[in-house]
Structure 1
Amino acid sequence: MEGPRPVWAVKVIMVIVIASIFFRCVSARNHTVGGPNGWDLASNLQVWSRSSTFYTGDNLVFSYTPNHDVLEVNQLDFARCRTINPLATHRDGETVVPLTNAGTRFFICGRRGHCTRGLRLMVQVLDLPSAAPAFPPAEESAASEPTRRERAPPPGKGDKSSPPPPAAMGAAPAKSPGAEAHCSVGVRIGGWVWCCLALAAVLKKKSMKR
């Protein structure tokens, strides 16, 4: 039967839990729709949406006056500015819409004439890229691959001269824009892991001295 866990082990577990909660908090992002003017006819929502990148876990924040509301609609109603059958209706003046799934979301203002005058928004939500490893990058292993392939075949097998390796073999794979946008996620994870391991070692030494 196992005895009680040492104090240092309990502290390390607490640090890891707190670190994971902090990481989840910093990874999400709030997007204030329309920028400084908010959800208003004065905002150029098309330009604003094109200048932003939206990922699952982010939030849309609609700030607006009582002269406006926010209707989430389907694609057809968005194109025709129809307000009779919305998917959701918001009138609280400070609406937060979580982006829980990848895909396209459509929003319009339900007040007469506002949608046709430009108060509508289409948002393309992307899946959050997987975190990059905190260990040697893939480019190094990809660069070492041609070296192994360039070795000559054993004597007596095949031609005397081996064909040159393809030029594209040593090229590092291109990074997607989404990975560039959230490249700091992997760095945060790696940093937290190393901090937790270092803290565990220090606490373990202290407990052994006692």
Structure 2
Amino acid sequence: MSRRVVPLTLDNLDDLPATCRSCLFWELGPLADPEPAPAEEARLAKEAWLSATLLDWGSCGKLAYANGEPVGYAMFAPPGFVPRAMSFPTSPVSGDAVLLLNAHVVPRWRAGGIGRMLAQAVAAELVPRGVKAIEAFGSTGPASQGCLMPADYLRSVGFKTVRPHPAYPRLRMELRSTVSWRYDVEYALERIFGTNVGKSLTPARFTPGKP
């Protein structure tokens, strides 16, 4: 069985799950039209965002394949490239961190080591680029809140709360330049990728600025 992890590019963007491929949750700012964009328009907007991020910052995602089939992915970017990040009451994301946007492994591959492969690929990508930390906006609400991961879950895998909030705390994992860091972060990311805590969500269903 062949397995590999490659950077997310315009050439393989269509290998993302269909819901994520046309979801602009993170790519749109807080003042965007709350109605979801038509599918084709959303796909083009996703391509434009990825193209700009690749050109200005570099690799911002990983795709995992098994026997030629896409089976998992992770997306991440600095806060300046993620307009939606400014809509949270616990914004802004720290300037020395990247934001973990989404991560997913298809259910039937979660016991096959794909999560570990993705975790290792993300760690290997970020450390040499001088990234100091990974941050994420947690949710204390229902698990159906899509692109937001449960705050308790993030804490359980090593993230620490840096700005508390009753609904949308911001959490952080330091990327220390020590031997133990690599294993800690890979373990945490593997657990995130190995569960279905990151699902696509349309902006119309998310209004963190409202009570």
Q: TM-score range by the shorter chain?
A: under 0.3
Name the structure where strand makes up a greater proportion of residues: 2
Identify which of structures 1 and 2 has the higher relative contact order when contacts are C-alpha pairs closer than 8 Å and 6+ apart: 2
TM-score (ref. length: structure 1): 0.23
TM-score (ref. length: structure 2): 0.23
Looking at CA atoms only, which structure, 1 or 2, has the larger radius of gyration? 1
